[in-house]
Homo-oligomer: A and B are copies of this chain.
Amino acid sequence: MRIILDGMGSDDCPEPEVNAALQAARTFGDKITLVGPENQLKHRLDALGATETEIRLVDATDVITMKDKGISLALKAKRRNAKNSMAVGMDLMVNGDADAFVTAGNTGGALATAYYRLGLIKGVERPALSVFLPVKDGQCLILDIGANPDCKPEHLFQFAIMGAVYVEKVRGKKNPRVGLMSNGEEAGKGNQLIKDTYPILESSDLNFIGNVEGKELYGGEVDVVVTDGFTGNVVIKTSEAVAKLITDMLRTELTSSTRTKLGALLAKPAFTSIRKMMDPAETGGAPLLGVDGLVYIGHGRSDSRALFNAIRVARQGVAANFLGELRTAIQGRLAKTPTPEAS
């Protein structure tokens, strides 16, 4: 498999990228393509003894940073001769020279670059950002988490197909349960978007279990949660903030007396296993769905372990021929399901 890693993605780049690329090459026996400024990457690779069989270094003199936004970002993403690592990396995919692109860089940048350079899969109107959330006894894929703040029912239907195909074909979860994020479980609950989307999902051949709330999501009762990018973004950021509040409070309380300090010391294995579950580095990266190429986006705070895991999950997407499966599914399902005229 031919995986590309953006050499300039993470907050601490390029150190974690160089390490992760080399570790992946040595673990999986694949040559990893690392894209970024040669003058920053070459000597680091040499210092680690990386060979040309292990790492292909592709020079990209520019970079999209976390500060890029708006029109300057769009130009970096779109320009034909753009020299930033995302554009150069994705162009390799366009040329059939690679199978998947992994980055821990600016999410909006990756989204825009993929949109302009790879285009969308036929039948998909909007790309979606996704993430696997840690839930009771497993993980749940939620999408969109930020690409489309305003959506139409047919967009949510497409997100449902994309999410279900990913979870089924790549994760091996048969007939994944698809839920619609709402403000109540009963059919008929929701804002206008949810009310208009519900019948489309209900009449589709997806395993639609209806509206879901936080308790179904985190209770492990649903495999794919579909929502607009505004709500999805609020869900993941609220979740992070609540988890942080509780763990911060625990830390404060547990160090407040000698007794609780001792208790915390003894209970340490319990905390470690929870921290591990909540750690985004465990999942590595999440697929950008709907674009015509495999793109995985990791957290900006990714370390080399997170990036290594992102390469690992990207390999799963390639192995499962996710793009091919998605193209087929989108064509088949959109043809079968009526789209409401009004929307």
A interface with B by C-beta (< 8 Å): 135-136, 146, 149-150, 181-184, 189-192, 194, 213-215, 217-219, 228-231, 233-235, 237-250, 253-254, 256-257, 259-260, 262-271, 273-274, 277-278
Q: Known: A150-B192, A234-B214, A246-B274. Is A269-B241 also a contact (CB below 8 A)?
A: no
Across-interface contacts of A265 in B (CB, < 8 A): 263
Across-interface contacts of A231 in B (CB, < 8 A): 230-231, 234
Q: Known: A235-B238, A249-B277, A254-B270. Is A150-B191 also a contact (CB below 8 A)?
A: yes
Across-interface contacts of A235 in B (CB, < 8 A): 234, 238
Q: Known: A149-B190, A231-B234, A267-B254. Is A245-B135 also a contact (CB below 8 A)?
A: yes
Q: Known: A266-B266, A269-B259. Is A253-B274 also a contact (CB below 8 A)?
A: yes
Closest to A215 in B: B241
Closest to A237 in B: B214
- Chain A: interface secondary structure? helix
Specify how many copies of this chain sit in the oligomer. Answer: 2
Identify 14 residue pairs between A and B in the complex whose beta-carbon atoms are under 8 Å apart, listed by A's number: A183-B237, A218-B238, A219-B245, A231-B231, A242-B243, A249-B277, A253-B269, A253-B273, A260-B269, A260-B270, A263-B263, A263-B264, A263-B266, A266-B266
Q: Known: A253-B269, A253-B270, A267-B254. Is A214-B239 also a contact (CB below 8 A)?
A: yes
Q: How far is the CA of A189 from the CA of B149 in the complex (A)?
A: 9
Across-interface contacts of A273 in B (CB, < 8 A): 253
Closest to A269 in B: B260
Q: Are B239 and A213 in contact (CB under 8 A)?
A: no
Q: Are B215 and A244 in contact (CB under 8 A)?
A: yes
Q: Are B274 and A250 in contact (CB under 8 A)?
A: yes
Across-interface contacts of A250 in B (CB, < 8 A): 270, 274
Q: Are A234 and B183 in contact (CB under 8 A)?
A: yes
Extra A-B contacts (12), CB below 8 Å, given A253-B269, A259-B269: A183-B229, A183-B230, A183-B234, A214-B239, A214-B241, A215-B241, A217-B241, A218-B242, A235-B238, A239-B242, A259-B266, A263-B266
10 closest pairs, A vs B, by CB?
Answer: A263-B266, A263-B267, A214-B241, A253-B270, A183-B233, A214-B238, A218-B241, A149-B191, A214-B237, A191-B230
Q: How far is the CB of A126 from chain B (nearest CB, A)?
A: 14
Residue in A213, A259, A263 whose Cβ sees the most chain B Cβ within 10 Å: A263
